[in-house]
Amino acid sequence: MIDRQTPLDIIRRRYPNALSTSDTVDAFLDLMQLHLGIEPRKLMLADSICSDDLNTIEYPRRAYEMLGPFKLGGLDGFPFAGLTGMSAFAHHVPVDGAVFVFHGPHIGVSKEGDTGIILRPGQTHHSACCGAIRAAIDKMASGGILPGELTELDYQQNTIEQLLLAHRDRIASARCAMDESTEVMYSAIEKRIDILAARTEYPCRYLVIMGGVLINSDYDVGSFCSFRRLVCIDLTTGRREDWLDELLDSAARLTYRVTRNGDGIREARRCVE
Ligand SMILES: [Zn+2]
């Protein structure tokens, strides 16, 4: 019997709990309906993901059933929109709705399972993903990053360089610098999101935060997410609930197939067994 691995199988070798981004949205919207009785059009979505054009091309279609997205992220998904961005979007939520923040860095994993590179639409050669992280790693390896240097012309990239520079030895000794740097970025983004979220006022009852590593594969495969957290905070009581296991359980019965969407770009879709 021939062992044919799906793209999700290949992604899961490195990220065991990964799901396609489309499955993620489907399972998430079901959970919101089940637990809070809130329908998609009353969810105010903000994402803090890389401004890479591929993330726009591969944005899950059902995510547009929610309000937004408000874009909190800049290069590699760090929430550069800051307190002002967080406060602005939070005040756009319906009073009987909920605020939902998705955050995470991204990394490419090609169809062949190579980390840090992907084949983009219309191109014949693989390129780096995240390109900003690749550039920062190369600059750090050549000793080009100066401690504390933040320039007006390249502020976002310089910020990423400083975040990675603080973990130079860890990244240099890692088996895969792209992989390790992505983990460093995940921690930095999560920490910053929590600071911003704690300093923001919300004219609604619920704040929901999902964190993960966004995984882009080749253009004809689609995108995936490896999860780190899914928490719901009742802002009237301060009670926090962890829904990550439930999200993964509800998605466990899903298998993967690929369909072609209207733009000619393949999108990972679920198939219920
Ligand atoms: Zn990127």
DSSP annotation string for 190-247: HHHHHHHHHT---SSSEEEEEEEEEEE--TTT-EEEEEEEEEEEETTT--EEE-HHHH
Confidence at residue 164, expressed as pLDDT on a 0 to 100 scale: 98
**233 DSSP β-pair partners:** 207, 240
CA 52 to ligand 1 center in whole angstroms: 5
User: Quick one: which of 54, 24, 18, 40 has its CA closest to 98?
Assistant: 40
Cα(140)–Cα(30) distance, rounded to whole angstroms? Answer: 43
CA 105 to ligand 1 center in whole angstroms: 7
Residue 94: CB atoms within 10 Å? 14
Protein residues within 5 Å, CB atom, of ion ligand 1: 50, 52, 76, 130
CA 191 to ligand 1 center in whole angstroms: 19
Task: Classify residue 55 as left (phi > 0), alpha (psi -120 to 50) or beta.
Answer: alpha
CA 240 to ligand 1 center in whole angstroms: 31
Confidence at residue 258, expressed as pLDDT on a 0 to 100 scale: 38
CA 54 to ligand 1 center in whole angstroms: 9
Give me the residue label for tokens 């704040």. Answer: 207
CA 44 to ligand 1 center in whole angstroms: 24
Type of residue at 159? T
Confidence at residue 253, expressed as pLDDT on a 0 to 100 scale: 62
Could you list the pLDDT tens digit for every one of the 273 residues in the chain? 455 788 888 999 899 999 999 989 999 999 999 999 999 999 999 999 999 999 999 999 999 999 999 999 999 999 999 999 999 999 999 999 999 999 999 999 999 999 999 999 999 999 999 999 999 999 999 999 999 999 999 999 999 999 999 999 999 999 999 999 999 999 999 999 999 999 999 999 999 999 999 999 999 999 999 999 999 999 999 999 999 999 988 877 654 433 334 333 333 333 332
CA 238 to ligand 1 center in whole angstroms: 34
What does the buried/exposed string (b/e) look like for 233-260 if buried means 16 or more CB atoms within 10 Å of the residue's CB?
beeeeeeeeebbebbeebbeebebebee
Q: Which is it for the CA torsion 222, 29, 26, 182, positive or negative? A: positive
Cα(153)–Cα(98) distance, rounded to whole angstroms? Answer: 36
CA 107 to ligand 1 center in whole angstroms: 7
Confidence at residue 2, expressed as pLDDT on a 0 to 100 scale: 53
CA 120 to ligand 1 center in whole angstroms: 13
Please name the helix (run of DSSP H) or strand (run of DSSP E) that holds residue 47, with its range, or none. Answer: strand 43-48
CA 214 to ligand 1 center in whole angstroms: 10
CA 97 to ligand 1 center in whole angstroms: 31
CA 233 to ligand 1 center in whole angstroms: 29
Q: Return all residues near 191 (Cβ < 8 A) that are at least 6 apart.
A: none
Confidence at residue 108, expressed as pLDDT on a 0 to 100 scale: 96
Confidence at residue 200, expressed as pLDDT on a 0 to 100 scale: 97
Give me the residue label for tokens 């903000």. Answer: 46
**261 close to 269: Cβ distance less than 8 angstroms:** no
CA 80 to ligand 1 center in whole angstroms: 14
Cα(72)–Cα(12) distance, rounded to whole angstroms? Answer: 28
CA 169 to ligand 1 center in whole angstroms: 22
pTM for the model = 0.90
